[in-house]
Amino acid sequence: MSKTVTRAQLCEAIFQEIGLSRTESAQLVELVLEEIAEALTRGETVKLSSFGSFLVREKGRRIGRNPKTGEEVPIEPRRVLVFRPSHVLREQINSALTGRAAEGGD
């Protein structure tokens, strides 16, 4: 079974590796996410080398459809966030997981 990692594990890692208190580790995790969110809200791209980049895309207005009723509904222009994983991250994940199912892993 795959597990879910949350802020708690990220805080624990900072506590272990850097030796900040748990409270301060939690604050730092929050601050990092907040700085990234703010940059994105300003419309900036956030590039984290060897991890990937987060970019904001502007979507134009288009006509969508309610799949249930078939009714046409306008979809207003909006900004969406796209994550582009780096090659390093792709490679790390792909090489770790390919063939694992065949070995009866997981």
Partner 1 sequence: MIKSELVARLAEANPHLFQRDVEQIVSTIFDEIAAALARGDRVELRGFGAFSVKNRPARTGRNPRTGDQVQVEEKFVPFFKTGKELRERLNGSPGSAREPGRRAG
Q: Toward partner 1, which CB reaches closer, 65 or 100? A: 100
Nearest distance, CB of residue 61 and partner 1, angstroms: 13
DSSP 15-59: HHHH---HHHHHHHHHHHHHHHHHHHHTT--EEETTTEEEEEEEE
Choice from 6, 68, 69, 87 touching partner 1 (CB under 8 A): 6
Angstrom CA distances, 104 to 4, 42, 83, 98, 101, stand at 20, 46, 31, 12, 5
The residue ranges that bind partner 1 (CB under 8 A) are 2-7, 9-10, 13-14, 17-18, 20, 28-29, 31-37, 39-41, 44-49, 51-52, 54, 56, 78-81, 83, 85, 89-90, 92-94, 96-98, 100, 106
